[in-house]
Amino acid sequence: MTLIAAGAVALERGICRPGWVATDGDRIGACGAGPPPRPADVDMPGALVVPGSVDMHAHGGGGGSYTGGDVADISRAAEFHRRHGTTTTLASLVTAPPDNLLTAVAALAESTRVGTVAGIHLEGPWLSASYCGAHDREQLRNPEPAEIDALLAAGDGAIRMVTLAPELPGSHAAIARFVEAGVVVAVGHTDAGYEQTCQAIALGATVGTHLFNAMRPLHHREPGPALALLQDPRVTVELIADGVHVHPAMLRAVIEAAGIGRVALVTDATAAAGLGDGEFRLGTMQIEVVDQVARVRGTSTIAGSTATMDQLFRAAAGLGSNSDAALAAAVQMTSTTPARAVGLDHVGILRAGFAANLVVLDQDLQVARVMADGQWWV
């Protein structure tokens, strides 16, 4: 058993100063506030220890992509994000031709089995052409039972979430099929109205994919999907808190309206994350990154992000001037809430019996060390 002591530890009760965590193999054996019960094996008096981040929406990073079905690419992306504190990742796929999508799902299912990623998020192909964003418009289609069943079979239990537009023909049956299969249904890339979104939630949708982005906007006479998602306590809303996708004032307003237990910060990162400006690909789409903002080449359409979860943690903590309450809220929105939203047990919290996934942050909230499944990776 390894005993880690730190100047501060993010436990369920909040930020404890000081605190300690004891790991036993790949699990947390015990944790607590105050001085450790015996001399620490690792003592970091100036550090903050938090649970490893859980990113429920990422397409790649560090030059690696989850979208192409290449095992080396998948590992490269996961390792990049692990260095930035993400110990649990859902690999998000974009809209693609049926055969390509099946190939990518099969590859990611294997990566899920060996623990490289925690599961698959299908973002498409059942999206609105009016709000397709960086998805290939030519490959959008309505949800059909045969394709859904083929993808579920290829995933062999690894598909954890699917984003769809509930106004599409066949969407109601699709929602029911996914819910029956234990897959979380998210509403996104949608032109649905308020009532249509409420109906999707009643059918079992429980997540709003990158709230406000790629969906019909709020209007005082037609509230649209965003209000329906925000006001229902059963729904967790994703926010990309990179300062590009959502204005900080809107981020604060959503947190105040929904509460930190219903807000999951996500990166929506692409292979371009960590590589600076240049030209990249997202599925079949050509992407150009300028000043760290990714757009579909030749357009103003935002195409995912170049963010990492440690960046989003700092943004959330900064809303409260890095107070202990703000730090605890940042932990909730980057770890606990997303884990619960997609049904990932034993991650997202520093608790005895949970996975030994933790991140050591220095006084500037920069990642100093990362432990995943009881092993130091950074």
Q: Is 213 annotated as a binding residue?
A: yes
Q: Is 176 annotated as a binding residue?
A: no
Q: Is 28 annotated as a binding residue?
A: no
CA–CA distance, 36 with 14 (Å, rounded to integer): 17
Q: Is 174 annotated as a binding residue?
A: no
Q: Is 210 annotated as a binding residue?
A: yes
Q: Is 346 annotated as a binding residue?
A: no
Structural contact between residues 285 and 296, judged by C-beta atoms closer than 8 angstroms: yes
Is the N-terminal amide bond of 125 cis, ω within 30° of 0? yes
Query: Does the annotation mark 268 as catalytic?
Result: yes
Q: Is 61 annotated as a binding residue?
A: no
Select which of 268, 277, 291, 364 is catalytic: 268
Count the neighbouring beta carbons within 10 Å of the beta carbon of residue 352: 13
Q: Is 214 annotated as a binding residue?
A: yes
Q: Is 302 annotated as a binding residue?
A: yes
CA atoms within 13 A on the CB side of 45: 2
Binding residues: 123, 134, 189, 210, 213-214, 221, 245, 302-304
Binding residues for substrate: 134, 213-214, 221, 245, 302-304
Which residues form the catalytic set?
Answer: 268
